Amino acid sequence: MKKRFIATAVVAGLLVAPYFSGQLAETEMRNMVAKMQSIPGVSVSIENYHSGWFNSTADVVLNYSQEIDSQVAPLEMKIISKQSMQHGPILSQSNGLGFGLIDIAYDFDLTHNQGAAVEFTHNFTKDKLESYMRIGYTGTMTSFVSLQPVQIMSADGNFDIKAFAFDSVFSRDGQLQFSGNWQGLDVTKLAEKVMSIGEMQFSADQQVVRGDIFSYNALALGDSNFYIKNIEMIGATAAESVTINDLTVLSTSHEENGFMYADVDINIDSINAIGQEFSKFAYQLSLNKLDLDVYQEFQNLMIQNNAQQDPDMLMMQMQAMLPELLTSGPELKITKLGMQTAQGEIASQLNIRFDQSVLDVNNPMTMFMALQADASGRAPIEFFNSIGMQQNIDQLLMQNMLVQDEEQVKFDFTFSDGQALLNGEPVPLG
């Protein structure tokens, strides 16, 4: 009898739980949409929400407006996300059997007012796109998106978009983890390939440190990785073509006492351009002690101005905020920028910082005196000869913009106490 009672209680619980999961899921979804209302130029709403016992459906409607300089009427887009929801606690609609609050399967409709401006055909069908999300009882969102190959054909050329897959995990406390793979893109014109993007891989593990994961001005710090096998722009001749092989971008950032510290490392195995072959391109940048609160204010200005289309007002507001940003003593370092050529190495570096003993936020003119900078670089003369720039180099040597050191040309620049020196000689300012 006792076992029968327990079994009955479990069955009753499993039957009742989906109803309450559906109620919690609706509250969660409406809260998420409410947080999106502050995005400039975008309105988001929930329509046709039908809540059942085990399943629900809803349409999340996004309306977007953007002014376009070349057109009188702004671009108007409407995206309808048709959501089919399965209530927990036992879920199977998303990526496998699991436990959680709700599973959501997405279907999308897109309309816009630019139909007459663009004429193209495609083989895209809704079954080529899959999109799912699972929301746990703690608010963690696990999503998956995949796209099968799609071809778009127009008078200007054909675009072959290859397979794409993306998965992510967003937690309520702002932790973001995602990874993806895109097999690339081919562009042809008159049956001739003119551009190709090879396989792309990317991933990130970050934490939101300012804003909310659903807010337009959220700021996240952490690690990210990006890799492209190759990019090829095919011209009529080899000199007009560009090929980039094995591009890697690694970045890491963190917050310390309200300041951001970030490092970016970009490497390219080989580049073919202007009829030359380059290898081991490297760009290493460090940004230290950037005030995150002021940086977010800059970010808000950029986003809000994009909706208002007023660059003059943006520049005035940014100039007014610049002294405040510099009070923390931020430092920018390009520790390496260079590559290998057949004639030798090209290398350069740059450091920019501000002397806090000189800077006065109430007197913007002190920014000029507080600025401290140094930069240097060198390259083989024969490289410039090989690309037909010998005459340009000779003129720069005569003007002391460059100096010769045996088989190389180089420069050395410093700026301190309001005085610039280039290769040891004062540079007139103003």
CA distance 426 to 155: 57
In 106-139, which positions are buried (b, 16+ CB within 10 angstroms) versus exposed (e)? beeeeeeeeeeeeeeeeeeeeeebbbbbbbbeee
In a domain, 191, yes or no: no
Residue 207 lies in a domain: no
**229-242: pLDDT as tens digits:** 999 998 888 778 89
Percent of the chain at pLDDT exceeding 70: 88
Question: Residue 285, Cβ neighbours under 10 Å: how many?
Answer: 17
Q: Which residue has the higher pLDDT, 306 or 333?
A: 333
pLDDT at res. 7: 46
46 lies in a domain? yes
Contact residues for 277 (Cβ-Cβ < 8 A; gap 6+): 270, 271, 341, 342
Tell me the C-alpha distance between 345 and 336, whole Å: 12
**How many domains are contained in the chain?**
1
- In this predicted model, what pLDDT tens digit does every residue of 389-417 receive, in sequence order? 888 888 988 888 899 988 999 999 999 98
Element housing 4 (H / E): helix 2-35
Within-domain flag for 94 = yes
Say if 75 falls within a structural domain. Answer: yes
- Is 102 within a domain? yes
pLDDT band at 12 (very low <50, low <70, confident <90, very high): very low
Residues 92-110 have pLDDT tens digits of 877 778 888 888 888 887 7
Instruction: Indicate the SS3 state at residue 277.
Output: strand
**Would you place residue 355 in the very low, low, confident or very high pLDDT band (cuts 50, 70, 90)?**
confident
Rounded Cα distance between 255 and 388, Å, is: 47
Per-residue burial over 56-92, b if 16 or more Cβ lie within 10 Å, else e, is bebbbbbebeeeeeeeeeeeeeebbbbbebbbbbebe
Can you give the pTM of this predicted structure? 0.84
Note the pLDDT tens digit of each residue in 364-391.
Answer: 778 888 889 999 999 999 998 888 888 8
Structure confidence at residue 23 (pLDDT) = 84
Identify the band that residue 304 occupies on the pLDDT scale cut at 50, 70 and 90: low
In a domain, 112, yes or no: yes
Angle at alpha carbon of residue 392, lines to 391 and 393, rounded to 5° = 90
Res 273: pLDDT? 87
Domain that holds residue 81: 1-148
Cα separation, 399 vs 373, whole angstroms: 21
For residues 113 and 73, the answer to whether their CB atoms sit within 8 Å is yes
> What was the pLDDT predicted at 68?
59
DSSP 74: P
What pLDDT was estimated at residue 386? Answer: 86
What whole-number distance in Å separates Cα of residue 247 and Cα of residue 278?
Answer: 13
Q: Residue 229 domain-assigned?
A: no
